[in-house]
Amino acid sequence: MSHHELDARRLLCPMPVIKTQNQVNTLRQGDTLTVICTDPGALNDIPAWCRINGHAVLETREEGHEVRVTLEVGEPSIAL
């Protein structure tokens, strides 16, 4: 199990979600990923994407104009 970081700053939704999804598809169950964004929409969208696809949100945090979401990768699904 390993920890990863994804810089999604300056990207507008849904790009931070797409980048998160694409990175999660390369990770293993139990790995953790922190996504750093500037679009405040990510604060809703990334946790929603996690709930839908079976990943756990460990922490969401706002720091100034930045949003950080940390998730734990759940069971893999068929990557379409």
Partner 1 sequence: MTESAPQTLQRRAIALVSGGLDSMLAVKVMQEQGIHVEGVNFFTGFCVEGHTHAIRKKDQDKNKRNNALWVAEQLGIKLHIVDISEEYKDVVLNPKHGYGANLNPCLDCKIFMVNKATLMLNKARELAGEKGFDFIITGEVVGQRPKSQRKETMPIISRESGADDRLLRPLSAKNLPETLPEREGWVDRSRLHDFSGRNRKPQMALAKRFGLDDFAQPAGGCCFLTDESYSRKLADLWQARNERRYELDDIMLLKVGRHIRPAPHYKLIISREEGENRFLEGYRYQFTSITTSSCPGPLALIDGTLASDDELRQAAAIVARYSKGRTDDEVVVEVRDPSGVARQLPVRPATPDQVAPEWMV
Per CB under 8 A, residues contacting partner 1 are 10, 12-15, 17-18, 21, 39-41, 43-45, 48-49, 51-53, 65, 77-78, 80
Comparing C-alpha atoms, which of 8, 28, 1, 2 is closest to residue 69?
8
Q: Is 19 strand, coil or helix?
A: helix
Smallest separation (angstroms) from partner 1 to the CB of 59: 19
Marked catalytic residue, from 4, 6, 11, 13: 13
- Total residue length of the chain: 80
Q: Among this protein's residues, is 50 annotated catalytic? A: no
Task: Report, in Å, the least distance between residue 8 CB and partner 1.
Answer: 13
| Cα separation, 78 vs 13, whole angstroms | 23
Half-sphere exposure of 59 (CA within 13 A, CB side): 11
Cβ of residue 26: shortest distance to partner 1, in angstroms? Answer: 15
Active site residues: 13
